Amino acid sequence: MKIGDKLRRLRLQRALTQEELADRCELSKSFISLLERDLTSPSLDTLSDLLETLGTDLPTFFRKEDEKLVFTGEDIFVKEDPDGLKGMIRWLIPSAQKNEMEPILLEMGPGGETAEDDPHEGEEFGYVLSGTVKIVLGDHVERARKGESFYLRPTAPRKLVNAGKGVCRVLWVSTPPSF
């Protein structure tokens, strides 16, 4: 992998000259120049020091720049009529279980409800797109209607119930992923 251009861009973003970067890392200006032109390779320790000076780290530096930003219907995974839901779950981001948050589109038919989920670390957010949803968190129950949102820390068993006579649709985001 060629890293010189990425190092150069980071250096310029920090408004540093090659000489200033070299001084901060106890390297020579000529070594920085060679690195940026991919004419030499740094040791792992040297690269780590450079990246720390430039305000980043190894995982961030090597993250793919061409990560997909926009997802279409072809990317969505649909699970129809899971137990008791009388509807479907759409995973809006492929492999979201690997991310820090997991967005889904939940559709529940009349009388539908999600399976009860155990307490866990993290947070959950929902926005009701249509219908009315009953949020059950332990012994606490609240309703959210179309255009309303909810936010909770799942400190007790929780589930969502369609509280209306029509289809209920909820955009639901969980961190960490739990669906």
Domains 4-62 and 73-175 share a fold: no
Instruction: Show me where the domains of the chain are located.
Output: 4-62, 73-175
Rounded distance, CA 113 to CA 86, Å? 8
- The string of pLDDT tens digits covering residues 51-87 is 999 999 998 888 766 677 888 888 888 888 877 789 9
pLDDT value for 51: 94
73-175 maps to which CATH number?
2.60.120.10
CATH class of the domain at 4-62: mainly alpha
Tell me the CA distances in angstroms from 68 to 28, 72, 95, one per residue in order: 37, 11, 12
